[in-house]
Structure 1
């Protein structure tokens, strides 16, 4: 089951309960069966040089009249870690752009540093700038943006700092501050061993019932190095958050979170929903931080509905 709320308009617009009813027909279950196939999307990897680093990216799906969708990856993983079923469903009717954050996968980062010889630090704001620069390179004036975990923080920065580049925003497993996230991912017990797999992504009960899915998730073709993971963690730690800025968010917003997410708790998405008028909130019962692996088709249908639906029916504002 899921809970979907439009916090600013739920009580005022008759159309929205109808939308909720339509989405309810999806009968989403975090335990639904799926075919296990985790090979990365086969599309060609392109490399573009942007300022001081190369950015690796893939284009999935054909260009259409629909706004393209940019997917921003999270902490210590690469674009290969997006669930391929989710990506293919989202690319049905639009072009989807996947890319590696600087220093991960096919992307590079400046190795030069301070006089001490340590690696040059970077910020989440710089990662947002990288994403905006990639859209410029692709000749895309605007895109919908969906970020997961750390990527959702980058997506917030991108929407707030480059509002002209972002049409709609999807924040999947998000937070508006960094303290709690840093504490959790700094705890060595959060992540499982190589034998256990990515246990931090799912509720324990779900893991017991779906060992086949958990074991099938690969680390990606180019696993993130410990040094780069530390640089990302430092970028998260020094992030000042968006609590004071989110009320000014201009774009339609969808928040997507598992009710059993132990890294980005659902209350953080609830808080953001209360900050941003008109936001949509979807909470997945039984869902963890890796809900896209638990129910990729249902997640894709909800995101697709959000991206397609008309958000403003006020006179003179019809899309």
Structure 2
């Protein structure tokens, strides 16, 4: 199954790769796999309300030039069946079930926003499964979030071509131009696009993220259970999950590097996609002992 799924996809892009499916535990997971057939796969864990086609091709395709990259829809999201859980622990269990169904014994994880919370849970509970961890625009358990307020403000800007422009980017002209370019890149794929499941996904996801941040973790148990090398990334002006979360995580993690991008919001990885990819490659390619 795995060899069939990856055949001829070493030259595919996020915009052209076929969507594959793998089924188990009562869920049929949708995913796309890019890059070479060998190497430690980098599994992408998506943001609140996002699906496979919400990823930036400039990020995903560049990362896949020298490593396998897997973008997937967790339970209930996009073309995956099942019900979207309303808690991070269940989302993590479903993600691990998907990885196990692929027959992969070791992965790197890149978790963005809500996906970063899920990635923390997985890394804390499955040390042997996760080799390295990248946390982008996310928060620790008990961290600071302004999800509903930021969403309300973004959707009130009726002149914006897409809510993601005010959600992910700052008001500076440079950031907005980067945002418009990002939106254009995400619309290149026309056929077999992923689907939006609306409130069936966003309602439980919002509850999961808000509960995660509202649950105190004074001893930083999740962060301190993460032993893997970790790259923590944030935008300097992230209004949804502020950059002080990134600093707090880097301070409590046992082996973490912190990167803060200037004049950027929640979508810093998309605005600064070239340098972000460079940072990720350097981090993933470094020997674990010096990561």
Provide the TM-score with structure 2 as the length reference: 0.83
Is the CA contact (8 Å cut-off) linking 2:14 and 2:61 kept in structure 1?
Answer: no
The equivalent position to 2:43 in structure 1, one of 70, 78, 81, is 70
In the other structure, the counterpart of 1:230 is 203
In the other structure, the counterpart of 1:264 is 241
The equivalent position to 1:251 in structure 2, one of 225, 228, 242, is 228
Give the distance between the partners of 2:130 and 2:216, measured in 1 at CA: 19
Matched, 1:216 2:184: yes
**How large is the RMSD of aligned CA atoms in angstroms?**
2.5
In the other structure, the counterpart of 1:143 is 107
1:95-114 → structure 2 map (5 Å cutoff): 95-110=68-83
In the other structure, the counterpart of 1:294 is 271
Q: Quote the offset at 1:46 in angstroms.
A: 1.0
Matched, 1:90 2:63: yes
Matched, 1:196 2:173: no
Secondary structure of the corresponding residue to residue 70 of structure 1:
strand
Q: Quote the offset at 1:227 in angstroms.
A: 3.0
Provide the TM-score with structure 1 as the length reference: 0.76
Give the distance between the partners of 1:311 and 1:79, measured in 2 at CA: 29
Give the distance between the partners of 1:52 and 1:194, measured in 2 at CA: 42
The equivalent position to 2:133 in structure 1, one of 169, 174, 179, is 169
Secondary structure of the corresponding residue to residue 59 of structure 1:
strand
Give the distance between the partners of 1:43 and 1:72, measured in 2 at CA: 18
Give the distance between the partners of 1:209 and 1:229, measured in 2 at CA: 27
**Which whole-Å deviations, capped at 9, do the CAs of 1:244-263 have from their partners, x for residues lacking one?**
32123110010011101111
Matched, 1:61 2:7: no
Q: Assess, with a 3 A threshold, how the Cα gap between structure 1 residues 244 and 212 changes in structure 2: closer, same or farther.
A: closer
Matched, 1:45 2:19: yes
Is the CA contact (8 Å cut-off) linking 1:46 and 1:56 kept in structure 2?
Answer: yes
The equivalent position to 2:123 in structure 1, one of 152, 159, 172, is 159
In the other structure, the counterpart of 2:253 is 276
Give the distance between the partners of 1:178 and 1:229, measured in 2 at CA: 21
Give the distance between the partners of 1:288 and 1:186, measured in 2 at CA: 11
Q: Which has the larger radius of gyration?
A: 1
Q: Assess, with a 3 A threshold, how the Cα gap between structure 1 residues 202 and 241 changes in structure 2: closer, same or farther.
A: farther
In the other structure, the counterpart of 2:5 is none
Is the CA contact (8 Å cut-off) linking 1:77 and 1:224 kept in structure 2?
Answer: no
Q: Quote the offset at 1:208 in angstroms.
A: 4.6
List gaps (5 residues or longer) in structure 1. 1-38, 111-119, 314-318
Aligned residues: 266
Q: Quote the offset at 1:148 in angstroms.
A: 0.3
In the other structure, the counterpart of 1:13 is none
Greater helix share, 1 or 2? 2
**Which whole-Å deviations, capped at 9, do the CAs of 1:13-32 have from their partners, x for residues lacking one?**
xxxxxxxxxxxxxxxxxxxx
Is the CA contact (8 Å cut-off) linking 2:52 and 2:78 kept in structure 1?
Answer: yes
Q: Quote the offset at 1:222 in angstroms.
A: 1.1
Secondary structure of the corresponding residue to residue 22 of structure 2:
strand
List gaps (5 residues or longer) in structure 2. 1-12, 188-192
In the other structure, the counterpart of 1:35 is none
Is the CA contact (8 Å cut-off) linking 1:67 and 1:142 kept in structure 2?
Answer: yes
